[in-house]
Amino acid sequence: MCGIVGYIGKRDAYPIILNGLKRLEYRGYDSAGIALYDGKNIQLCKTKGKVADLELKVTNEMSTIGNLGIGHTRWATHGEPNDVNSHPHYSNSGDLVIIHNGIIENYAALKKELINRGYTFYSDTDTEVLVNLIEDIKKNENVKLGKAVQVALNQVVGAYAIALFDKNKPDEIVVAKLGSPLAIGIGDNEFFVASDASPFIEFTNNAIYLEDEEMAIIRLGRDIEIRKVKDDSIVAPYIQELQLNLEQIEKGGYEHFMLKEIYEQPSVIKDTYRGRLLADKGIIRLGGLEDYIEKFINADRIIIVACGTSWHAGLVAEYIFEDWARIPVEVEYASEFRYRNPIITENDVVIAISQSGETADTLAAIKLAKEKGAFVYGICNVVGSTISRATHSGTYTHAGPEIGVASTKAFTTQITVLTLIALKLAKIKGTISQSNYMLHLRELDLIPSKVEAALKKNDEIEKIAKIFKDATNFLYLGRGYNFPVALEGALKLKEISYIHAEGYPAAEMKHGPIALIDEHMPIVVIAVNSNHYEKVVSNIQEIKSRKGKIIAVVTEGDTIVREMADYIMEVPNTPETLSPLVTTIPLQLLSYHIALMLDRNVDQPRNLAKAVTVE
Ligand code: F6R
């Protein structure tokens, strides 16, 4: 939540910061702000709204001269998203300017102390408290900016990625990180700071990712100085060469990132199993897993912790792990798990699933599981993310940057990794027959082409979207492996179209939700070939007798449901165990088209942010 970006060097900072903010806008888009420094004057502009609103305001209100600058795009935590609460924030003297992603939990106590010392606060933010605390320490202890930041951060409880500069130091930016991400791009005597590498990828491939509780003093003409916040000790910088390229973070001709990401699924699913699945040879090789196979095989339980769409991928995993590998699985909302004093032992394996690798609740669940002695395995998309580093081992999905706030390709690539793990464990444990194992390896290899075929039905799905775009409620029903897909379909629709939608196991319908059904209620039923097919057909009959409108996801060539449903969305025939990878595609497209027809901001739905770094 919140994106931060900074630049110091020989170029004009403004276009770099502005463009960087546009790329980071997925992290929060309640308000945006920028501060530029030309060595004499600081220009600061901020506004409620999006980066485009900021751009307009800057054009009308301020000069854009300056080779040093910082910018921020916000997802509000403290204080409503208005101009005053937007970042950057000045210190009282006007010398220090800061941007911050995170939360200072003890800000109220610090604020009280600072007010007693004569400080005035203009915003409701915790960030303004932090910048004044730094100023207070700098003045009273007569120390340099870096030292003042270090001392201040030791008084702070919470999470932060910060960047700040001092009017008296035109060639210096100080940054620090705890919990929230912070990357430093290193050019030729120019430096970039950002929440991820996307704002600077066209300028440099060399970056340092700060670790938690590290700060860096970035000075022109000097090497970057990295220190531990706790004890001020020096850390040797580790410069990584980035694999990211510009194409991956641009829309590539699609109208929205979400649509691009839906269409990327055939290739990113393949990227996720490439080199890991050798279908003909019957081999699955997962680097992060090989050394820890015994932990999984001997585990009393696997506990999966995740949030949102990643939690839905975890639910799919519960079915495949129990079915194939015969290991008991519990799937937990990370937010509930962390607060309910769960029973975790050294014999448990915890799998944490997270696209962003930043989700605060998932991270807290990992810390708790580690404290209790469990082995923690991560499935993340963002390389080098906090969660990927907090786990004992793990496997990356290779979905590439997911920028649309609604998760699509992350979901299918997470299921791909989980499928590989489950199959591998089942093979080693001998709980899957050789023929079934080989069948699934070959079928997994066919998934990209099946997803491709499912995407070809886009035009038909668009027509269905047109018919139902004005519905105010939707039900999504599925059984077995497709129950989590029903939940995911409902989540996709509600988060981007703002239409109320609920997912249910199809059989649960008659225990309550059936009361909602009338001739106005669209019900999306996943009715593909499976062991439960007849049962789902019965559920469809029950809906029909109550005049509900049935939109069914069916297997190509299906005749029975086709006769009964009002509309159908076809997907290729796929083993039930792997079917979530294809049945989810029409549901993503349906949500996308409905949201678009309702004129919603598909990539940046209201009130949401891509990386939820607060509880
Ligand atoms: C839904 C969505 C969210 C995320 C959730 C977890 O489309 O994007 O529900 O799935 O916030 O995020 P990660 O996977 O980054 O931990």
Q: Quick one: pLDDT at residue 64?
A: 96
Write the pLDDT tens digit of every residue in 274-283: 999 999 999 9
Find the 280 Cα to ligand 1 centroid distance in Å: 34
User: Ligand 1, residues 1, 305, 307, 491: which to mutate, most atoms within 8 A of Cβ?
Assistant: 307
Write the pLDDT tens digit of every residue in 43-67: 999 999 999 999 999 999 999 999 9
Task: Determine the 3-state secondary structure of 314 from DSSP.
Answer: helix
- CATH for 252-454? 3.40.50.10490
Q: Quick one: pLDDT at residue 1?
A: 72
Task: Determine the 3-state secondary structure of 230 from DSSP.
Answer: coil
Position in ligand 1 atom list of the atom nearest CA 405? 8
Phi-psi label, residue 602: left if phi above 0, alpha if psi -120 to 50, beta otherwise: alpha
User: Ligand 1, residues 180, 261, 354, 355: which to mutate, most atoms within 8 A of Cβ?
Assistant: 355
pLDDT-derived band at 573 (thresholds 50, 70, 90) equals very high
Find the 420 Cα to ligand 1 centroid distance in Å: 22
Q: Quick one: pLDDT at residue 510?
A: 86
Q: Quick one: pLDDT at residue 414?
A: 98
**pLDDT greater than 90 at residue 301:** yes
**pLDDT greater than 90 at residue 78:** no
Peptide bond into 586 cis (omega under 30): no
**pLDDT greater than 80 at residue 610:** no
Find the 307 Cα to ligand 1 centroid distance in Å: 6
456 in active site:
no
Q: Do domains 252-454 and 456-605 have the same CATH topology?
A: yes
45 in active site:
no
CB of 412 closer than 6 angstroms to any ligand 1 atom:
no
- Given a contact cutoff of 8 angstroms between Cβ atoms, the answer to whether 175 and 210 are in contact is yes
Over residues 293-300, mean pLDDT: 96
Give residue limits of the domains in the chain: 3-244, 252-454, 456-605
Q: Whose CA is nearest to atom 5 of ligand 1?
A: 308
CB of 354 closer than 6 angstroms to any ligand 1 atom:
yes
pLDDT-derived band at 384 (thresholds 50, 70, 90) equals confident
**pLDDT greater than 90 at residue 131:** yes
User: What average pLDDT does the structure give for the chain?
Assistant: 95
Burial 57-77 (b: 16+ CB within 10 A, else e): bbeeebebebbbbbbbbbbbb
pLDDT-derived band at 548 (thresholds 50, 70, 90) equals very high
- The model's pTM: 0.90
Token pair listed for 89:
């924030």
Q: Quick one: pLDDT at residue 533?
A: 94
Angle, CA 336 vertex, CA 343 and CA 100 arms, to 5°: 125
β-pairing verdict for 206-209 and 240-241: antiparallel
Q: Quick one: pLDDT at residue 609?
A: 80
β-pairing verdict for 225-228 and 234-235: antiparallel
Find the 186 Cα to ligand 1 centroid distance in Å: 30
**pLDDT greater than 80 at residue 594:** yes
Among 82-86, 140-144, 439-443, the least confident range:
82-86
Residue type at 610?
Answer: K
Closest CA to 104 of 121, 131, 70, 127: 127
Helix, strand and coil percent figures for the chain, each rounded to 5: 40, 25, 35
**pLDDT greater than 80 at residue 76:** no
Q: Quick one: pLDDT at residue 379?
A: 98
Find the 181 Cα to ligand 1 centroid distance in Å: 17
pLDDT-derived band at 564 (thresholds 50, 70, 90) equals very high
- Given a contact cutoff of 8 angstroms between Cβ atoms, the answer to whether 444 and 273 are in contact is yes
Write the pLDDT tens digit of every residue in 389-447: 999 999 999 999 999 999 999 999 999 999 999 999 999 999 999 999 999 999 999 99
Q: Quick one: pLDDT at residue 338?
A: 84
CB of 406 closer than 6 angstroms to any ligand 1 atom:
yes
Catalytically annotated residue among 169, 177, 457, 610: 610
CA-to-CA distance for 343 and 362, rounded, in angstroms? 17
| Residue 548 DSSP code | P
Angle between helices 13-24 and 51-61 (to 10 degrees): 160
Q: Quick one: pLDDT at residue 607?
A: 86
Over residues 568-578, mean pLDDT: 98
CB of 495 closer than 6 angstroms to any ligand 1 atom:
yes
**pLDDT greater than 90 at residue 612:** no
Q: Whose CA is nearest to atom 9 of ligand 1?
A: 308
Q: Quick one: pLDDT at residue 248?
A: 87
User: Ligand 1, residues 337, 359, 491, 494: which to mutate, most atoms within 8 A of Cβ?
Assistant: 359
Find the 471 Cα to ligand 1 centroid distance in Å: 25
Among 77-86, 146-155, 163-172, 308-317, the least confident range:
77-86
CA-to-CA distance for 457 and 454, rounded, in angstroms? 6
CA-to-CA distance for 25 and 199, rounded, in angstroms? 11
Find the 291 Cα to ligand 1 centroid distance in Å: 29
Give the percent of the chain with pLDDT over 70. 100
At 119, give phi and psi (nearest 5°).
-80, 145
CB of 407 closer than 6 angstroms to any ligand 1 atom:
yes
Write the pLDDT tens digit of every residue in 184-216: 999 999 999 999 999 999 999 999 999 999 999
Q: Quick one: pLDDT at residue 244?
A: 84
More confident residue, 474 or 609: 474
Q: Quick one: pLDDT at residue 424?
A: 98
- Given a contact cutoff of 8 angstroms between Cβ atoms, the answer to whether 130 and 100 are in contact is yes
CB of 608 closer than 6 angstroms to any ligand 1 atom:
no
Which overall architecture, per CATH, does domain 3-244 show? 4-Layer Sandwich (3.60)
**Stretch (H or E) spanning 266:** helix 265-273
**pLDDT greater than 80 at residue 103:** yes
Which overall architecture, per CATH, does domain 456-605 show? 3-Layer(aba) Sandwich (3.40)
User: Ligand 1, residues 261, 407, 493, 498: which to mutate, most atoms within 8 A of Cβ?
Assistant: 407
At 220, give phi and psi (nearest 5°).
-65, 140
CA-to-CA distance for 80 and 82, rounded, in angstroms? 6
Token pair listed for 133:
């605390």
**pLDDT greater than 80 at residue 614:** no
